[in-house]
Structure 1
Amino acid sequence: MGEQFLVQPMIVVFEYLRINNEQDVKMKKLGFAMMILSACLYQADAVTVSPDGKGDYKTIQEAINAAPDFNETPFVINVRPGTYKEVVRIPKNKSFVTLLGESAEKTIITFDNTAPKIAPDGKPFGTFRSATAFIDGSNFTADKITFENSAFRTGQALAVSISGDRAVFRRCRFIGWQDTVFTAGGREYFEDCYIDGACDFIFGGATAWFERCRIHCKGGGYITAASTDQKQPFGYVFSNCMISAELGVRFDLGRPWMAYASVIFLNTVMPPEVSGAGWNNWGNVENEKTARFAEYGSKTEKGQSLDVSKRVPWSKQLTEEEARQITVDKALGGTDKWNPVSAESALQAKQAVPAAASIILRAKDVAIKGKNARLENEGANIGFWTDTDTSFECQADVQPGTYLVKLHYALDAGQAGSEIQIKAGDSVLKLVPPATGGWQDVRSASFGEIEIKKEGKVSLCVSAISKKKDFILNLAAVTLIQKK
């Protein structure tokens, strides 16, 4: 085990010898021996998991099993980069477990159980047994870890199920499709995390605060399905978050799994893919009398105030004073005054640091430079792009930083092979997009990163360096996502 010995007991040893030099030498020797033993036993609990066998354990579950029962101090599991295909269970008797990764993108816990899949007991797993990670112990912390359910479009498939109180997730990723994150109970805090899915992918009855998180919708549906108890003052609070979506996807912010569902979005960036109504009653008008859905300061991707005039009348737009009263302390504090906000997060909140920016170059918003392309499908995409003399441009306000480039496009297999160039200011990314399922099959794919060095207006341009066949591709959009 990777024990970390502490020096404080040794200081006590030498202090003991200094003040007791007139006492019996034998007693001093006995005391010295006992304190040396105490120093050796006094150690911080820390182990390392590495898939190559160079740590204390090869699997995360083995390390969790080694944690002391009902611990009162953190048991730190350093998780080295790798893909860990295992179902992880942190039972109630394993409290204060910490999973500490080096990079969420490179440290992945994944499995593919789904609700209809048959479990070892011969019965379907069902929704609540399908999770990749079950976190039932209290005071759990994860930092820079990815929790993934790789089953994706096969029904309910949880990446994580959380029932332990006082759970904290920082800089983590949660990957799934339907029911990605199940907040079963207790209090939970998510900071600078990424969560994706398509339908009800954040759901449950816990009180959970999401600070500066990115919520990405991969398919049409609903972000939240809260089942907040009537007596709970808060359910989900999304603060300074950013919502993004695959092109053409339409979705609502949430629907009530139970009658008194509570969901609040504060100062959150929302794309045009969010429906005008914003919320859904789950087919039951009675839910409109009890559901607690609210927003304050919702913004467009360009930082402008979002038009919420078409929101369902039974949702609420908070006043500035009402929004000010919604704090982490009030939502999560409880009788034990729990405050999981990190010092870094508190400083960023004080300095009003915005969430990561997303810049979208949509087909309908660009200027087509040249004659060999045209808008199609009511502006949904640019098609009939037949020559390299035609390009697409627009201006955008940006912050300096590194941006992940995603292309939203359709391309027939017989026409693949053209080289595309994406330029942002002085930075250039070149790529050769592979074929999708045909001209009507718009897909999204990441093709690398681009560096923007100056703040302010930047010219964005998409052009073709070479043309392989008759047509280059159908372009729906280009998204630049700032990396934190």
Structure 2
Amino acid sequence: MLWRHMFSALCLASTAVFAQDVHVHVAQNAKVDATHFPTIQMALDHAADVGPQGKLFLHIAPGVYKERVWVSPRRARTVLLGEGKSASDVVISAGMNAAHSGGTFFTETVEVNADDFAADNITFENTAGPTGQALAIAVSADRAIFKRCRFLGDQDTLFADYGRQYYVDSYIEGGVDFIFGNATAVFDRDEIHILRPGYLTAQSRTNAEQPTGYVIKDSRVTAGDLQGKRFFLGRPWRAYARVVVMRTELPVSLDPRGWSEWKQNAAELAKVSFAEFENKGPGAATQGRASWTRSLSPKEAAGYEPKVFLAGADHWDAPVEAAKLP
């Protein structure tokens, strides 16, 4: 019997180690030790490893962190927590653009390649301005959550590239194609702000069987001074692009057509899935929408709620997981 008790104790101890969370603190004036670091990247590089079920929490003090950050695949279950009163108090900032870095996908201020990543109360910023492609963040991660965050840039601000992603109570700003890629992503209760005449989204689904696409729901689209010109909700970066905008406030400066073709896919617009449901505001009227877009029925719209659209085979409930963040 004794060996059974010893075996049970060892198993419990092993489970505790595997499930152990690690908490570290980032502040620009921090003196480096095992749990305190002056930069975010240093914390990611040198914090203790967590077990298969544990999480790494980075508690980030207010400040502008002028660095480029990579969350590697080995840092799964990393959580960035901004400790300011609002997302504007903790800013990760860089200013690379495609012309000077060697291409679009070398410009991101933050790159996330780790599954089960989360960020709360943080700003991700690319300060390059209207100088071409310049990413604030690139996210290639499954079950990623961004809560109360800000994403600031101009062209290609947010590369929602791969995996299931949930953006809630956040602010996203840009000028051209500033939410783009082929993730399965929901933007819930967000403000999406367009700075100049352009396109909110450039989704890139490549075949009809892919479960990918973007859903903008219960949100608000706002526009800067477009000098009398119009903007579009999106254009298809790839032939089977899918974007749904539902129960969202749309401004008067939205082009009545709503959506634009992309020259390279202009002959394949029947494959595109651009749709709307119960939007509101002065730009919500659908009578003048592009003929190759459509309105959803209530039954169809129900399939784009985050609990359904993001569920996957593991039945991930993104809103429930987001509610667990501080």
Structure 1 and Structure 2 fold alike (TM over 0.5): yes
Aligned to 2:224: 246
**Counterpart among 178, 194, 200 of residue 201 in structure 1:** 178
In 1: Cα distance, 2:52 partner to 2:41 partner: 17
2:151 is equivalent to residue 149 of structure 1: no
2:324 is equivalent to residue 341 of structure 1: no
Residue 217 of structure 1: how far off its partner (Å): 0.3
2:276 is equivalent to residue 288 of structure 1: no
Contact 1:281–1:287 (Cα < 8 Å) also in 2: no
Superposition CA RMSD, Å: 2.7
Quick check: which has more Rg, 1 or 2? 1
Going from structure 1 to structure 2, the CA distance change for 1:133 and 1:117 (only over 3 Å counts) comes to same
Aligned to 2:93: 110
Contact 1:70–1:94 (Cα < 8 Å) also in 2: no
In 1: Cα distance, 2:65 partner to 2:281 partner: 38
Aligned residue identity for 1:335: A
Going from structure 1 to structure 2, the CA distance change for 1:272 and 1:206 (only over 3 Å counts) comes to same
**Counterpart among 190, 193, 204 of residue 213 in structure 1:** 190
Q: TM-score, normalised by structure 2?
A: 0.87
Deviations 1:31-53 (A, max 9, x none): xxx9xx99x97853100000121
Quick one: percent identity of the two aligned structures?
39
Residue 73 of structure 1: how far off its partner (Å): 1.9
**Counterpart among 213, 227, 234 of residue 235 in structure 1:** 213
Contact 2:109–2:135 (Cα < 8 Å) also in 1: yes
Pairs within 5 Å for 1:327-338 = 327-338=305-316
Comparing both structures, which one devotes a greater share of its residues to helix?
Answer: 2
Q: Which runs of 5+ in 1 are unaligned?
A: 1-22, 24-29, 119-123, 347-484
Aligned to 2:292: 314
Aligned to 2:252: 272
Q: TM-score, normalised by structure 1?
A: 0.60
Going from structure 1 to structure 2, the CA distance change for 1:269 and 1:67 (only over 3 Å counts) comes to farther
Residue 162 of structure 1: how far off its partner (Å): 0.6
Which secondary structure state, in structure 2, belongs to the residue aligned with residue 288 of structure 1?
A: helix
Which secondary structure state, in structure 2, belongs to the residue aligned with residue 105 of structure 1?
A: helix
Going from structure 1 to structure 2, the CA distance change for 1:107 and 1:323 (only over 3 Å counts) comes to same
Alignment length (residue pairs): 308
Aligned residue identity for 2:250: M
Higher relative contact order (CA 8 A, sep 6+): 2
Q: Which runs of 5+ in 2 are unaligned?
A: none
Deviations 1:99-130 (A, max 9, x none): 01123111000101110114xxxxx2x10111
Going from structure 1 to structure 2, the CA distance change for 1:76 and 1:245 (only over 3 Å counts) comes to same
Going from structure 1 to structure 2, the CA distance change for 1:259 and 1:233 (only over 3 Å counts) comes to same
Which segment drifts farther, 275-284 or 62-71?
62-71
Contact 1:137–1:163 (Cα < 8 Å) also in 2: yes
Residue 345 of structure 1: how far off its partner (Å): 6.2
Aligned to 1:56: 36
Residue 229 of structure 1: how far off its partner (Å): 3.2
Going from structure 1 to structure 2, the CA distance change for 1:306 and 1:251 (only over 3 Å counts) comes to same
Deviations 1:340-362 (A, max 9, x none): 1137869xxxxxxxxxxxxxxxx
Residue 164 of structure 1: how far off its partner (Å): 1.3
